[in-house]
Amino acid sequence: MPDNWWVKTTLEVINKMQADGVIGQYAIGGAVGATLYLEPAATLDVDIFVTLPAIAGSSLLTLAPIYDYLRQHGGTVQHEHIIVGGWPIQFLPPGNDLEREAIAEAVETSVQGVPVRVMTAHHLVAIALRTGRAKDNARILQFIEQDAVDRGKLKNVLVRHGLTQRWQDFERRYLEGTRG
Min. distance of Cβ 175 from another protein in angstroms?
Answer: 16
**Please, which residue, 146 or 168, has the CB nearer to another protein?**
146
148 binds another protein (CB under 8 A): yes
- Is the CB of 57 or the CB of 180 nearer to another protein? 180
Residue 7 CB contacts under 8 Å (≥ 6 apart), including other chains: 32, 46, 85, 87, 111
Beta bridge pairs of residue 27: 49
Distance between terminal CA atoms of the chain? 45
How many CB atoms within 10 Å of residue 9?
A: 16
Show contacts with another protein in window 72-131 (CB under 8 A): 87, 109-112, 118
Please, which residue, 75 or 85, has the CB nearer to another protein?
85
Nearest residue to 46 via CA among 76, 17, 10: 10
In whole angstroms, the minimum distance from the beta carbon of 149 to another protein comes to 12
- 85 and 9 in contact (C-beta within 8 Å)? yes
Min dist. Cβ of residue 69 to another protein (A)? 23
Other residues' Cβ atoms within 10 Å of the Cβ of residue 17? 21
Query: CB atoms < 10 A from the CB of 24, how many?
Result: 12
156 binds another protein (CB under 8 A): no
Nearer to another protein, 1 or 19 (CB): 1
Work out whether 62 is an interface residue with another protein (CB under 8 A). no
Task: Out of 15, 37, 67, 81, point to the residue binding another protein (CB under 8 A).
Answer: 37
Binding-site ranges for another protein (CB under 8 A): 2-8, 32, 35-44, 87, 109-112, 118, 145-146, 148
